[in-house]
Homo-oligomer: A and B are copies of this chain.
């Protein structure tokens, strides 16, 4: 699968379309994902629900992992940790994912999400399992 095909595949999936999240690029060095926080993403206090922010962080890490492994492989999030450092208020939110440890079976990645003003909104660290795409998906 080419890099363009990878992006197209993910941008077309149900979750990305439901929440309006887009992967902008993904390669062996990093990934970049974007979402614009709107009313439909908010919890009862007026900022984006943790699920939206954690989903963006998860996706940024996962796409960074996918950008660094073979096209015939997929990856599954085994575990992820997210620190929420500021409320994700309505407006653009961008996440950059990076692979920290490209293991043969387990890959460790991190991601940062920032608002339009550059303020850090969340930072995550995650554990991903590689699998052959033919077998599991």
Residue positions of A touching B, CB distance < 8 A: 9-10, 12-19, 38-46, 48-52, 54-56, 58-59, 62, 74, 76-87, 100-101, 103, 106, 108, 110, 112, 120, 123-125, 127, 129, 136-137
Contact = CB atoms under 8 A, between A and B. Distances in A.
Given A108-B85, A108-B123, A127-B79, A55 B50 contact: yes
Q: Assembly of this chain: how many copies?
A: 4
Main secondary structure of the interface of A (DSSP, over half): mixed
Given A13-B44, A83-B127, A85-B101, 20 more contacts: A12-B44, A14-B41, A16-B49, A18-B41, A45-B76, A45-B137, A50-B54, A51-B52, A51-B59, A54-B80, A55-B55, A78-B79, A78-B83, A78-B84, A78-B127, A85-B103, A100-B112, A101-B123, A110-B125, A123-B125
